[in-house]
Amino acid sequence: MRKILLLVKKDFYAEWRNEHAISSVLLYVFATVYITYTAFINIPAQTWNVLFWIVYLFVSVNALIRSFDQENSTKALYFYQLAGPTSIFAAKFIFNTVLLWILGLLTLILFSFIAGSPVRDYPLFLLSIFLAGIGFATIFTFISAIGAKTGNSHLLTAILGFPCVVPVLLELLKLSANSIGLLNDTDFGTDILILSAVNAILLSMSFILFPYIWRD
C-alpha cells in the first residue's frame, strides 16, 4: 500500500515537473470546448449531452495515452523489481482516475461557463463523471500499457480503446440524459448498477491481466 502511494506521488511529481504535458491537456480541453461552442453557438440540451461526453472522451484519451511513455524499458525493469506489476498498475490507475475526475470537472465548468449548462440534477451528473473517470481510467490505462509494448503506441491505443469504451459511454449518455431531464427514467438505479458492475469487471480483469503484459 505504501509502495502504491509512493508511486502515485512519483507520477504526480513527474507530471507536475513536466509542465508542457499538463498544460497541453488543459489547452486541449479549452480548445475542444471552444470549437464545439463556436460551431453550435446555441447548443440544444440533447446535443450538449452528446458533445460533453465526446469532448470528455477525447480529453481522457489524450491525457492517458501517454501513461506508460515514461516507463522505458530499463526504468520499467527497475520498477518491476522494486514494486511489482500490481502496485505499478494500481498507482497508475489511481493517478489517472484522479486526473480524469479533475479533467471532468474542468470540462463541465468550461462547458457551463462558455456554452451554458442544461444540467438539472447536479449530484447525478457528478456521479456519472465519477463513474466515467473510473471506467475510462481502467480501460485506457490497460490499453496504453498494451500500446507501450508495441512500437507505434499512440495510434494503436486509440484504435484498441475506443470500441472497448463504448459500453461505458452508452450507459453514461443514458445516465446524464436523466440528469439533464431529457429522459424521465425513474429507474436510473439499474443504470448506475450496471455501469458500476461493468467498471468493476473491467478493473478486476485489468488487474489480473496487467502482470502478463508488463513482464518482458
Partner 1 sequence: MQSNSVSKMNNKWIKIFAVILISYTFIGGMWRPLNPGIMEIHPEKTKCGERIEVKVSTYNTHLDKGSNIAYLYIDSTYNIKSIDFKATSNNEAAITFDIPQFLPEKSPFINAGLIIVNPIDGGFARPSSVSIAQDSVNTLKGQEMWKQVKIEKFPDALHKGFPFRLILEETIRNIYYHVPFWMAMIILFSISVFYSIKYLFKPESDDAYHVYAYNRVGLFFGLMGLITGAIWAKNTWGQYWSGDIKQNMTAIALLIYAAYFILWKTFKDEQIQLRVSSAFNIFAFVAMIPLIFVIPRLYDSLHPGNGGNPALGGEDLDNTMRMVFYPAVIGYTLLGLWLANLLYRMNKIENHLKQ
Indicate whether 194 belongs to the interface with partner 1 (CB under 8 A): yes
Give me the helices (H) in 41-72, please: 45-64
Query: For residues 70 and 72, what is the distance between their CA atoms, to the nearest angstrom?
Result: 6
Q: 116: alpha, beta or left, given left = phi > 0 and alpha = psi -120 to 50?
A: left
Residue 183 engages partner 1 in binding (rule: CB under 8 A): no
**Residue 11 in the binding site for partner 1 (CB under 8 A):** no
How many alpha carbons lie under 13 Å from residue 105 in its C-beta half-sphere?
9
The site for partner 1, by CB under 8 A, has a size of 30
Task: Give the footprint of partner 1 on residues 24-83 (CB under 8 A).
Answer: none
Residues within window 78-107 making contact with partner 1, judged by CB under 8 A: none
Residue choice 45, 94, 126, 213 for contact with partner 1 (CB under 8 A)? 213
DSSP 68: T
The DSSP code sequence of 154-215 is HHHHHHHHHHHHHHHHHHHHHHHHHHHTS---TTHHHHHHHHHHHHHHHHHHHHHHHHHHH-
- 102 or 201: whose CB is closer to partner 1? 201
Under rule CB under 8 A, residue 212 binds partner 1: yes
Q: Select from 159, 173, 181, 192 the one that contacts partner 1 (CB under 8 A).
A: 159
Indicate the residue among 117 and 176 with the shorter CB distance to partner 1.
Answer: 176
d(CA 140, CA 165): 9
Q: Which is nearer to partner 1, 91 or 203 (CB)?
A: 203
Q: Indicate whether 163 belongs to the interface with partner 1 (CB under 8 A).
A: yes
* Per CB under 8 A, 170 contacts partner 1: yes
Rounded (10°) angle between helices 85-115 and 45-64:
140
Opening angle at CA 67, ends 11 and 107, nearest 5: 90
Which are the contacts of 32, defined by CB distance < 8 A and separation ≥ 6?
Answer: 55, 58, 59
The reply on whether position 114 binds partner 1 by CB under 8 A is: no
Q: Is 186 in the site for partner 1 (CB under 8 A)?
A: no
- Spatial contact of 64 and 136, defined as CB atoms under 8 Å apart: yes
- Figure out which of the listed residues 4, 55, 156, 175 binds partner 1, where binding follows CB under 8 A: 156
By beta-carbon proximity to partner 1, the closer residue of 11 and 191 is 191
Chain residues that interact with partner 1, rule: CB under 8 A: 139, 142, 146, 149-152, 156, 159-160, 162-164, 166-167, 170-171, 174, 190-191, 194, 198, 201-202, 205-206, 209, 212-213, 216
